[in-house]
Structure 1
Amino acid sequence: MAQDSSSPGGSLGVKAVDKVQAMIQKSLQLPKVKFLRQRMAEAGCTVKDNFFRAVVCQGRKGMAYFAPGHGIFVCSNHVTFQDEVNQLIIHELIHAYDDCRAVNLRWNNCAHQACSEIRAGHLSGDCHFMRELLRGHFKLRGHEPTGSKNARHRELISKRDNLNSNGYIAPSRPNYVYCWFSFDLDEPKECIRRRVLLSLFSNPNCVGSAAKDSMEDVWDICYNDTQPFDKAP
């Protein structure tokens, strides 16, 4: 359940909650959010605006959570930007949609939770490359030719005008060190797997290898289940 939004933090906590609640209201105007709410209503689960609440979260590491029968809660003490709130609302709405449409979904069942986490990660855009970049999930590769006679240096300089957006080379100057950096981001599926496991680790029924085993067991069917979208957005 959600914690009392007025504690801890006194008036500062209340201000943070009010600020994030205003951000939530902006999120509700997003086309994807409107679409998900419409599909939930068609499935018999009308979602009113008070379904979405900003709260101060005590003892929670996550930034938001869906509580069946209660709603979606965004942790005002863990979020800062509008884009974060947008993404959290979409992610948790997919959980809410799964809870609405499922006949026997049990959130304490490791495989059931894994399936919904896979779908939420895939359909919400959690693993868009810019979000991964901001999370720091990339590898930085550097190449450092050191002299004008260096063959690799000459090759890079000759290509500087055609270099793609993956890197940058400083303008040609004799006797300088030239660096070319590029970023290797995790593949989207690997990003989803990583984030699914982080969520499953909080489930006491997913101890040991159960989290990974459950995720792999349901991966194909749940990753390819794009409802209520015709295909992954």
Structure 2
Amino acid sequence: MSKSTLSETSIIDPTERSEEQNIIKNEKISNQEQISPPTIKGFEKWRLSLSNFTGLGLSEEEKEQNKLEKDWDKCESWKKNLMERSPMIVFLLDHLRKSGCEFNSSSIQCHPCPESRSGGFSKDHGILLCQNRFFNKKHLEDTLSHELLHAFDECKFKVDWLNLRHHACSEIRAANLSGDCRWTREVKRGFYSFNKQHQACVKRRAILSVIANPSCKSPEMAEKAVNEVWESCFKDTRPFDEIY
């Protein structure tokens, strides 16, 4: 092969070299566009999974969302278990059904709440369980029992919840029968008396609930309403034969 021929095959025109470099560059960009999104997505999924497990590397918003999801999962799991296996909850659900007011899982909702409450009942919306307020499953069981007793009263007696005497009676019954005033719960609240502690707890908690009624103008009104119905409502253990 002659030198001239060698020269012609070895030397690349600068214009061609520039075009070749552009082609290579464009191919790299194209490859990056195809590979990067799944790679980033996979990495982000791994990062979030690891962060959710350790709590490290999460923003405050992500931490709050993570906590909300964990609280909800725990509340729903406990609720489902209690509705199937708790003698107390199964008994109350059965009597509600027999009274024509069936409660299923969708009638009992887990949601975050402020610190002032752990649950609630509405004749229009069902039962609220405050997913961020339970320190164990037994606490949730007592709260659910309390609210189911309100539901039972509404079903059987069509309670006028703005009538303080009606409200007071249901609160007395719910606090008395749900387990909310058992001695161990009272100890955790800082009440240690052995002398009629159960009755004192029932009355105290009934008054606190009635105070929150829109029709109640003062703590004295709440206390008066509770005292007026105390004897008959404390003795009323329906649907139980006696205090649970």
Same-fold call, TM cutoff 0.5:
yes
Q: Which has the higher contact order (CA 8 A, sep 6+)?
A: 1
**Cα deviation code 1:92-131 (max 9, x no counterpart):** 100000011113x111221111000000011112111111
Q: How far is the alpha carbon of 1:231 from its aligned partner?
A: 1.8
Question: Match for 1:117 among 171, 186, 189?
Answer: 171
Name the amino acid aligned to 1:229: F
1:187 match: 197
| Aligned pairs (5 A) from 1:77-116 | 77-103=132-158, 105-116=159-170
Match of 2:214 in 1: 204
Q: Report the count of equivalent residues.
A: 181
Give the TM-score of the pair, scaled to structure 2: 0.70
Q: RMSD of the TM alignment (CA)?
A: 1.9
Give me the whole-angstrom Cα distance separating, in 2, the residues matched to 1:130 and 1:185: 15
Residue type of the partner of 1:126? Answer: D
Give, in angstroms, the shift of residue 132 of structure 1: 0.8
Name which of 52, 74, 94 aligns with 2:108.
52
2:94 to 30, 35, 38: 38
Pick the structure with more helix per residue.
2
Partner amino acid, structure 2, of 1:16: D
Structure 1 equivalent of residue 236 of structure 2: 225
Q: Equivalents in 2 of 1:200, 1:115: separation in Å?
A: 10
Q: Which of residues 128, 138, 148 is equivalent to 2:182?
A: 128
Q: With structure 1 as the length reference, what TM-score do the two structures score?
A: 0.73
1:61 to 113, 116, 119: 116
Distance 2:180 2:233 in 1: 16
| Structure 1: distance between partners of 2:71 and 2:179 | 26
Hey, what's the Cα distance between the residues in 1 that align with 2:138 and 2:200?
Answer: 22
Higher strand share: 1
Question: Structure 1 regions of 5+ residues with no counterpart?
Answer: 1-7, 140-183
Q: Is the 8 A contact 2:96 2:103 kept in 1?
A: yes
- Taking the aligned partners of 1:84 and 1:137, their CA distance within structure 2 comes to 17
Instruction: Give 1:186 deviation, angstroms.
Output: 5.8
Q: Which residue of 2 aligns with 1:75?
A: 130
C-alpha distance in 1 between matches for 2:80 and 2:211: 31
**Separation of aligned partners in 2, 1:206 and 1:124:** 24
Cα separation, 2, equivalents of 1:100 and 1:10: 36
State the SS of the aligned residue for 1:217: helix
Given the alignment of the two structures, is residue 213 of structure 1 paired with residue 215 of structure 2, yes or no?
no
Q: Specify the SS of the correspondent of 2:109.
A: strand
Aligned equivalent of 2:31 = none
CA shift in 2, pair 1:72/1:186, >3 Å: same
* Aligned residue number for residue 191 of structure 2: 137
Residue 238 of structure 2 aligns to which amino acid in structure 1?
A: Q
- Alpha-carbon deviation of 1:19? 1.2
Point out where structure 2 has 5 or more consecutive residues left out of the alignment: 1-62
